[in-house]
Amino acid sequence: MDTNVAFVCGCLSEPRRPVRAVMDILEEVQEFIEEPSRDEFSDVMFTLGRFLAALRGKIYCRFPGDGLTVCKVIKRARETGCIRSLRHHPHGVCASTLTDG
């Protein structure tokens, strides 16, 4: 992950809890089933990497096939300070800034 990106939210500031990481995987698999694409596949791989990272107490571990999502994350972080898409920004700000993440 590009360390020159400034994150202003909490979405990638600390390791995921393993249970939350599993829920993320299931959500991404469901999205892939509903709309199979390279982007959705990469999202699944990215969440698998975050799950493995969570088990190791880390924020992120590179995982084969996650390159498209990594590029999206870096682009979003540079533009908005958050890794998540704008649909996850209620009231125009990252949800992690409104709650505990």
pLDDT tens profile 44-100: 999 999 999 999 999 889 999 999 999 998 888 888 778 887 776 777 777 676 654
11 within some domain: no
Give the chain's domain count.
1
Give the whole-angstrom CA distance, residue 55 versus residue 41: 22
50 within some domain: yes
What mean pLDDT do residues 13-33 have? 92
Burial class (CB in 10 A: 0-12, 13-18, 19+), 3: exposed
What is residue 18's predicted lDDT score, i.e. its pLDDT? 93
63 within some domain: yes
9 within some domain: no
Structural domain containing residue 40: 18-97
What is residue 101's predicted lDDT score, i.e. its pLDDT? 41
pTM of the predicted structure, to 2 decimals: 0.81
5 within some domain: no
72 within some domain: yes
2 within some domain: no
Give the whole-angstrom CA distance, residue 69 versus residue 91: 24
What is residue 100's predicted lDDT score, i.e. its pLDDT? 46
Q: Answer for the pair 58, 14: CB distance below 8 angstroms, yes or no.
A: no
7 within some domain: no
